Amino acid sequence: MRFVDEFRDQQKARALAADIAALCEPGREYKFMEICGGHTHTIYKHGLEDYLPENVTMVHGPGCPVCVIPMGRVDDAVAIAGEEGVIMTSFGDLMRVPGSKGSFFDANASGSDIRMVYSPLDSLKIARENPGKRVVFMAIGFETTTPSTAMTLLRARGEDLDNFSVFCNHVLVNPAIKAILDSPGMSLDGFVGPGHVTAVIGCEPYQWVARDYAKPIVVSGFEPLDILQSVQMLLLQLKQGRSEVENQYKRAVPWEGNARAQAVIEEVMEPRPTFEWRGLGSIPGSALKLRREFAPFDAELLFHVPGVRVEDPKACQCGEVLKGAIKPWECRVFGTACTPETPIGTCMVSSEGACAAYYNFGRFDRRQLREASRA
Amino acid sequence: MSEKDVLERVERARRRKPRLTDERITLSHGSGGKATHALVEALFVEAFRNPLLERLEDQALLHLKGATVAFTTDSFVVSPIFFPGGDIGDLAINGTVNDIAVSGATPLYLSAGFILEEGFPVDDLRRVVASMASAAERAGVEVVTGDTKVVQRGKADGCYINTAGIGVLERPVQLSAAGARPGDAVIVSGPIGDHGVTVMLARGQLDIESDVSSDTAALTPLVSLLLDAAPRTRCIRDATRGGVATVCNEIAQASDVGVVLDEQEVPVRAEVRGASEILGIDPLYVACEGRFVAVVSGEEAAPALEALRSHPLGEGARVVGRITAGPPGIVLLNTEFGGSRIVDMLVGDPLPRIC
């Protein structure tokens, strides 16, 4: 299939793998974090680690929007959905995320009406078709999905819809990267930068990573060859003693990002003073809320939101996994108490979550896996 | 603990008898994945326990006065009721016919039960019943008994159909998911995922248009050709809910063997692949309604493939993998990209109500 097969070519992969191996200094360990959950998914789905030398480790970062939603926010959404005449809508991945009193699926089984949508515009459509109901869109995601929520709000205002609102949980990627860089014991050598987020915000906002922390960052596409090439570019920077922001994903990401999308976000939303992240705790300025002009569409103002902070379950080490401090299998409850069908932590829910990806695709010693599959 | 120890502990946890801990039924209990297995094994099998049921095959094989009778039932709640390539009526006939056929038996008689919602257009029901009649004729079966119930508006979604069926097993075969052995070949009878993707696109929520249509068909003639050419066939399963990946996992677990699939060999139409790429789903998990997975002995793989390809329904048949001694209970995939990974049972359902 065109535009896909070119980026999965085995010959090119082998050539890149040889390059990567040649760039590695013997005896040195390299740890690169792919920030975005989409990259994590690609790495596991295609078995990309088979092309990496053993001293290059990919650490799976916090860029899975579902994985960073704290339990309290899920509880808040369930509370809104429990109010009379409410239709809550959300992306499918969120349906199984556990709150302290169960997931959206459980809420539906108890009588709530929470529906899966593919876009906030679908949610707007439901609002138009159900004038007697109050339709709420649970908005999650990094800068990638924020513009579509903002556009939807502009449209809702344009149409004077009075039964549509947004429960805003949009988060920002840079404060999360900073939280990781500042966390004790951080041992990363560089970052594979998020392609879709950068298509919106552009490459400039990462300059501080390269400048202040001397870590290279390469914005990457989502096909396996994209990621291999990004790893090669990171290793080349290290070898040459450079730390720069580079763009591997030029075919989709202009250096300056998408000015129109940035303007739409700016028009509709503003930073929150602080926001709680699953496992990472509260990070200042790390999320967006609706501006005052959009108060009639702000579910946090329209509904009673409990806003109770719920401690992450004690056994759960999602935070350590998100920071890359431990591998998924090193978590105390990995695969026994916490599995994709009965997740304790959010990393086990979404297929972009580090734990779920490792459990579903990689739950095996890599060398043994390779040998068994080639036997 | 080392990674290896942890993974061994995880495998032990996976082998534990499934428990049903949920307080209420959720959609995931109907997905054909792990939650469904837990419901079936911890509730239904426990309550109805008997050796015929415990095989957990697609059909029960009954020994009645010298004849071996295959008996099965299936319910259909697909939404929308009409979709490119078929409708709920074809599905209700072909689904039950196939569950009988994959035992090697010849399907003969079906029952049909209708649950209709108040207000459902009679013209739609006429269309559904007409396509049931023609599907039954094509499959060589007769609908010989039935039932009708009507529920209040809002208590169902238009039309649900249950069919049950019987057939007679006259071949000396014992097909079972527990029969796979190292060295066997894994065959799929044609391109996978057509039905699931068709229904998903037919819902119109995604604004994707495509020419793909459902593969719903009775597999009886194809099974017959396969068993003539490869009499030592171990197992045949139609790859419905949960797709080829789920069937392979069931075989790996029931036979305590490994299954290694080659992604490059798995036939997927370009339209289905494209839609799957956009939707972020894996065709290996997408339902088919006219395809089966067969495990045949390694020596019989070539004649099996030749026989399947001689029939229009089997033109796209391919050997997609092989059975290995280990790792037991695990399905591995050599990816098109040249890497390797696990293919696990599906958790939750990305595409509810496809059949």
Instruction: Check: CB of residue B62 under 8 Å from CB of residue B105.
Output: no
pLDDT at A366: 65
Does a structural domain hold residue B102? no
List alpha helices for B102-172, DSSP H.
Answer: 122-139
Provide, as residue numbers in chain B, all residues whose Cβ is less than 8 Å from the Cβ of A373.
260, 332-334, 340
Does a structural domain hold residue A343? no
pLDDT at B27: 82
Query: Measured between CB atoms, does A341 come within 8 Å of chain B?
Result: yes
Tell me how long chain A is: 375
pLDDT at B149: 97
Residue-range definition of the domain harbouring residue A282: 71-173+257-302
Nearest CA in chain A to B4: A365
Q: Which of residues 227-266 of B touch A (CB under 8 A)?
A: 258, 260
Tell me the residue type at A207: Q
Can you read off the two tokens belonging to residue B227?
A: 């068993």
Q: Do A363 and B7 touch (CB under 8 A)?
A: yes
pLDDT at A364: 67
Burial (0-12, 13-18, 19+ Cβ within 10 Å), A214: exposed
- Count Cα atoms within 13 angstroms, Cβ side, for B312: 3
Candidates A121, A329, A333, A334, partner chain B, best to mutate (most B CBs within 10 A)? A329
Provide, as residue numbers in chain B, all residues whose Cβ is less than 8 Å from the Cβ of A109.
23-26
pLDDT at B12: 81
pLDDT at A24: 95
Q: Do B10 and A363 touch (CB under 8 A)?
A: yes
Burial (0-12, 13-18, 19+ Cβ within 10 Å), B246: buried
Q: Do B340 and A96 touch (CB under 8 A)?
A: no
Q: What is the DSSP string of A166-216?
A: EEEEEB-HHHHHHHHHHSTT----EEEE-HHHHHHH-SGGGHHHHHHS---
Does a structural domain hold residue B291? yes
Query: Measured between CB atoms, does B49 come within 8 Å of chain A?
Result: no
Number of domains within chain B: 1
Segment B204-222 shows an average pLDDT of 86
Segment B192-218 shows an average pLDDT of 87
Segment B312-316 shows an average pLDDT of 96
Q: Do B337 and A364 touch (CB under 8 A)?
A: no
SS3 A143: coil
Quote the percentage of chain B above a pLDDT of 70. 97
Segment B58-63 shows an average pLDDT of 94
- In this structure, the number of other CB atoms found within 10 A of the CB of residue A3 comes to 10
Residue A83 has pLDDT above 70, yes or no: yes
Instruction: Check: CB of residue B81 under 8 Å from CB of residue B157.
Output: no
Nearest to A96 among B6, B333, B348 (CB): B348
Residue B287 has pLDDT above 60, yes or no: yes
What is the average pLDDT score of chain A? 91
Can you read off the two tokens belonging to residue A49?
A: 């680690």
pLDDT at B208: 74
Q: Do A334 and B260 touch (CB under 8 A)?
A: no
Strand order in the sheet with A86-90: A114-116, A86-90, A134-141, A164-170
In angstroms and rounded to an integer, the radius of gyration of the C-alpha atoms of chain B is 20
**Shortest distance, CA A370 to any CA of chain B (angstroms):** 6
Residue B146 has pLDDT above 70, yes or no: yes
pLDDT band for position A360 (cuts 50, 70, 90)? confident
Segment B149-160 shows an average pLDDT of 96
Does a structural domain hold residue A113? yes
Nearest CA in chain A to B328: A372
Provide, as residue numbers in chain A, all residues whose Cβ is less than 8 Å from the Cβ of B340.
47, 50, 369-370, 373-374
- Count Cα atoms within 13 angstroms, Cβ side, for A246: 21
Tell me the residue type at B184: D
Least confident of A127-136, A177-186, B61-70, B200-209: B200-209
Rounded CA separation B202/B81 (Å)? 10
Q: Which of residues 2-41 of A touch B (CB under 8 A)?
A: 4, 8, 10, 13-14
SS3 A271: strand
pLDDT at B74: 96
What lies within 8 Å, CB to CB, of A241 at 6+ separation is none
Residue B165: what are its φ and ψ, rounded to 5°?
Answer: -155, 160
Tell me the residue type at B51: P
Quote the percentage of chain B above a pLDDT of 90. 74
Q: Pick from A367, A291, A270, A273: which is nearest to B7 by CA?
A: A367
Can you read off the two tokens belonging to residue A32?
A: 């690169």
Q: What is the CATH number of the domain that holds A163?
A: 3.40.50.11740
Query: Measured between CB atoms, does A51 come within 8 Å of chain B?
Result: yes
In angstroms and rounded to an integer, the radius of gyration of the C-alpha atoms of chain A is 21
Which residues are A139's β-sheet partners?
A168
Does a structural domain hold residue A65? no
Does a structural domain hold residue B274? yes
Q: Do A336 and B348 touch (CB under 8 A)?
A: no
Q: Pick from A95, A50, A64, A15: which is nearest to A322 by CA?
A: A64
In terms of average pLDDT, the best of A29-33, A359-363, B105-109 is B105-109
Nearest to A375 among B277, B324, B339 (CB): B324
Residue B164 parent element (H or E): strand B159-169
Residue B93 has pLDDT above 60, yes or no: yes
Nearest to A105 among B27, B341, B350 (CB): B27
pLDDT band for position A215 (cuts 50, 70, 90)? very high
Q: Do B330 and A364 touch (CB under 8 A)?
A: yes
Query: Measured between CB atoms, does B335 come within 8 Å of chain A?
Result: yes
Instruction: Check: CB of residue B307 under 8 Å from CB of residue B228.
Output: yes
In terms of pLDDT, which residue wins out, A348 or B90? B90
In terms of average pLDDT, the best of A243-247, B13-17, B209-213 is A243-247
Residue A131: what are its φ and ψ, rounded to 5°?
Answer: -60, -25
Nearest CA in chain A to B262: A373
Segment B313-330 shows an average pLDDT of 93
pLDDT at A316: 84
Does a structural domain hold residue A288? yes
pLDDT, one tens digit per residue, over A272-329 is 999 998 878 899 999 999 999 999 999 999 999 888 888 877 888 887 887 777 888 8
Q: Do A47 and B335 touch (CB under 8 A)?
A: yes
In terms of pLDDT, which residue wins out, A4 or A176? A176
Instruction: Check: CB of residue A121 under 8 Å from CB of residue A95.
Output: no
Q: What is the CATH number of the domain that holds B317?
A: 3.90.650.10
Tell me the residue type at B303: P
Residue-range definition of the domain harbouring residue B189: 177-342
pLDDT, one tens digit per residue, over A156-193 is 999 999 999 999 999 999 999 999 899 887 789 999 99
Q: Do A118 and B205 touch (CB under 8 A)?
A: yes
What is the average pLDDT score of chain B? 92
- In this structure, the number of other CB atoms found within 10 A of the CB of residue B332 comes to 26
Can you read off the two tokens belonging to residue B324?
A: 């290995």
Number of domains within chain A: 1
Does a structural domain hold residue A159? yes
Query: Measured between CB atoms, does A139 come within 8 Å of chain B?
Result: no
Rounded CA separation A13/A50 (Å)? 10
Does a structural domain hold residue B137? no
Instruction: Check: CB of residue A122 under 8 Å from CB of residue A164.
Output: no
Nearest to A8 among B7, B34, B336 (CB): B336
pLDDT band for position A87 (cuts 50, 70, 90)? very high
Query: Measured between CB atoms, does B278 come within 8 Å of chain A?
Result: no
Whole-number Cα distances in Å, A287 to A30, A61, A133, A268: 31, 17, 28, 13
pLDDT, one tens digit per residue, over A110-160 is 999 999 998 899 999 999 999 999 999 999 999 999 999 999 999 999 999
What lies within 8 Å, CB to CB, of B326 at 6+ separation is A372, B257, B258
pLDDT band for position B256 (cuts 50, 70, 90)? very high
Q: Pick from B41, B249, B12: which is nearest to A335 by CA?
A: B12
Provide, as residue numbers in chain B, all residues whose Cβ is less than 8 Å from the Cβ of A122.
205
What lies within 8 Å, CB to CB, of B72 at 6+ separation is B58, B59, B60, B96, B99, B100, B164, B165
Q: Do B10 and A49 touch (CB under 8 A)?
A: no
pLDDT at B331: 93
Q: Do A361 and B7 touch (CB under 8 A)?
A: no
ipTM: 0.81
Burial (0-12, 13-18, 19+ Cβ within 10 Å), B333: buried
Q: Helix, strand, coil: what percent of chain B each, to 5? A: 40, 25, 40
Q: Which of residues 298-327 of A touch B (CB under 8 A)?
A: 327
Provide, as residue numbers in chain A, all residues whose Cβ is less than 8 Å from the Cβ of B327.
364, 368, 372
pLDDT at A273: 96
CA torsion sign for B46, B49, B55, B61 is: negative
Q: Which of residues 156-195 of B touch A (CB under 8 A)?
A: none
Does a structural domain hold residue A52? no
In terms of pLDDT, which residue wins out, B209 or A128? A128
Nearest to A1 among B35, B260, B273 (CB): B273
Q: Helix, strand, coil: what percent of chain A each, to 5? A: 45, 20, 35
Q: Which of residues 314-333 of B touch A (CB under 8 A)?
A: 324, 326-327, 330, 332-333
Does a structural domain hold residue A361? no
Rounded CA separation A79/A81 (Å)? 5
pLDDT at A63: 81
SS3 B87: strand
Can you read off the two tokens belonging to residue B55?
A: 């095989």
Residue A269 has pLDDT above 90, yes or no: yes
pTM of the predicted protein model: 0.87
Nearest to A372 among B258, B270, B280 (CB): B258
Interface A-B, measured as beta-carbon pairs within 8 A, has a size of 135
Tell me the residue type at B287: A
* Per-residue exposure over A306-337, b if at least 16 CB sit within 10 Å of its own CB, e if not: eeeebebbeebbbbbbbbbbbbbbebebbbee
Nearest CA in chain B to A91: B350
